[in-house]
Amino acid sequence: MKQIRKVLGIRLNDRNASVRFIAQASGCSRPVVKDYLDRLMEHPLTSGKLSAMNDQSLKGHLGIEQGAIQSTEPNRQLVEWLEPNIKRLSQKHMTRRLLHESYLETYPQGLQYSQFCLVLKQKYQTPESSALFNHKAGDKAYLDFTGDKFHWRSEDGQDHHEEVYLAVLGASSYQFSVPVPSQRQEDFVWATQEAFRFFGGVPHAVVPDCLKSAVLHHDGYEPVHNPLFQRFLEHYGVISIPARPHHPKDKPLVEGAVNGVYRQIMARLAGTVFPDRNAMLNAWRSAEKRLNDTPFQKLPGSRSTRFAEIDQGALKPLPATMFAITKVLTQTVPPTGAVYVPADKTSYSVPNSLQNKQVDILVSPETIEVWHGNERYTTHRRCADGGKVIRAEHLDQAKAWYAARNPDELVRSLSRSGVHVASWATTVLTAAAHQDIAWRILDGLARVVKRHPDRIDRVCRIALSRREGTLKGIKNILAGEEDLALARLEELTPELPLHENIRGPEYYRQEALV
């Protein structure tokens, strides 16, 4: 009414003001301004009368106020026909246009579509029945937590404070609620799965509040779902349409159902001492059944009867298997090529191609699965010893070579270059303070072997005679060409031929025995 008064006030003060000017000044669209000015021409006013009239009188003067349904025969017939047929608007794909066509089949000379919609609005548009126009059968379920926790006491004297999960079907307002230990993602997904089982089917879409257990980020346009909740949705084939932040009208049914949970369930169970949690849940379900069976005040039936008539047959069937609830971690793979699971205090290797990429880690009681881009890359059995679980196939070429290095195998490879090389390598491997030190020396020796394959055995022979166990000593012998000098000396000293008269150690040993 403020806008109407502003539009009329500008025109009454300035008869030459254009529609465009008034629209800009009042903030109304030009068609709306023209409608108000046309009404002013049909029902003239002065500035004094405009100021003296209250809003109700002004509406009546301008003909804006809608009266009650006129008591005509066509209107009476339509109201009678709507009583059993209004619920059809909740059926999937049903529209007011199709309902009007069905009405004309019964009353061919009945009201036209515009008057049909007017009677619908005047007769049925109340807060309770607005869902008839906004929700289709089996289409949406609204999910949220109540603001207040449920406090109950067990017989062992312990006090329990639990969150209350709530799911409401849009068309019938049939609801499911259950206390859960927390709002963590595992409890939220478990409760939603229990809601589907309670309904006996799956809605086409869910409308969760902007909870971290369901939505990681929501800018009002493109929400980013929690990985565990996203996998749950894929398992059940459900679409998620999260409510926008700070827009409670996106989920009015669940907002209204919260009061029912407070008054009809939590208030009734307050102060009761239960033997255990199962007993508490049984009492909760009984109270909720009473709530669902309670008749509506302004609509026919109850939540239960409307569910049986509208939603139950329109829900999708439950899948053959239940969703396996696991914990999902999201991490960026570090340069080490391993993800860390805090619960196990253990790092698990992933393929080298995932380095610096964001992955989802599904933590089940027995296994660890690593996913990226809706593809599972690896699976590990859980190991809670606080160490590392590394697979060779996950390492890049350099890391795989380092992990697979074997000094013993390197010694066997070097032995093909000569007996003295093998002896020197074995001596180094035995005497080294650490295997890594021995590996570095032997790796350096292998490089020297490649450069001097014909000299290395004699060089090692000289090193062994001097008890030289360093790679630097080998290189010094090569640099001084001591092995070449030894080779020339051996060429000048002919070797004695074998002869049976030559006496050796065995001869003198036998003489001593005699």
Task: Inform me whether the pLDDT recorded for 30 exceeds 90.
Answer: no
- Per-residue H/E/C for 218-271: CCCCCCEECHHHHHHHHHHCCEECCCCCCCHHHCHHHHHHHHHHHHHHHHHHCC
Please list, in sequence order, all residues whose beta carbon lies within 8 angstroms of the beta carbon of residue 50, skipping any fewer than 6 positions away.
5, 8, 9, 12, 58
Q: Where are the alpha helices (DSSP H) in 43-152?
A: 47-52, 55-62, 73-85, 96-106, 113-124, 130-134
Rg of the chain on CA atoms, in Å: 44
Residue with tokens 């059926």: 91
* 261-306 tens-digit pLDDT: 998 899 889 888 999 989 999 999 999 999 999 998 777 889 999 9
pLDDT tens readout for residues 150-199: 999 998 888 999 999 999 998 888 999 999 999 888 889 999 999 999 99
| Least-confidence region, from 42-46, 445-449, 502-506 | 502-506
Rounded CA-CA distance 152/161 in Å is 7
pLDDT of res. 344: 82
134 confidence band (pLDDT: 50, 70, 90): low
Question: What distance, in Å, lies between the first and last C-alpha atoms of the chain?
Answer: 141
Distance CA 448, CA 411 (A): 14
Sequence length of the chain is 514
Q: How far is 13 from 502, CA to CA, in rounded Å? A: 145
d(Cα 37, Cα 43) in Å, to the nearest integer? Answer: 10
pTM listed for this prediction: 0.52
What φ, ψ does residue 273 adopt, rounded to 5°? -100, 125
| Residue 316 pLDDT level (bands cut at 50, 70, 90) | very high
Helix (H) or strand (E) holding 349: strand 346-349
- Which run of H or of E encompasses 380? strand 375-381
- Does residue 460 contact residue 420 with C-beta atoms inside 8 Å? yes
DSSP run (H or E) holding 180? strand 175-180
Average model confidence (pLDDT) for the chain? 81
Q: Nearest to residue 174, comparing CAs of 210, 208, 155, 201?
A: 201
Can you tell me the mean pLDDT for 9-25? 82
Q: What is the C-alpha to C-alpha distance for residues 165 and 178, in angstroms, rounded to an integer?
A: 5
The number of C-alpha atoms within 13 Å of 359 and in the hemisphere containing its C-beta is 31
- The rounded distance, in Å, linking the Cα atoms of 164 and 267 is 13
Q: Collect all residues with Cβ–Cβ distance below 8 Å to 212 and sequence separation of at least 6.
A: 183, 185, 226
Higher pLDDT, 126 or 328: 328
Say how far residue 503 (Cα) sits from the centre of its chain. 91
pLDDT higher than 50, residue 371: yes
Q: Is the dihedral of CA 463, 466, 467, 470 positive or negative?
A: negative
Confirm if 166 and 301 have CB atoms less than 8 A apart.
no
Tens digits of residue pLDDT in 73-132: 888 888 889 888 888 887 766 788 889 999 999 999 888 898 888 888 877 765 444 434
User: Looking at the predicted structure, is the pLDDT value of residue 65 above 80?
Assistant: no
CB 169 within 8 A of CB 144: no
- The bridge status of strand 205-208 relative to strand 140-145 is parallel
**For residue 500, what is the DSSP state?**
T
What's the rounded Cα separation, in Å, for the pair 408 and 494? Answer: 38
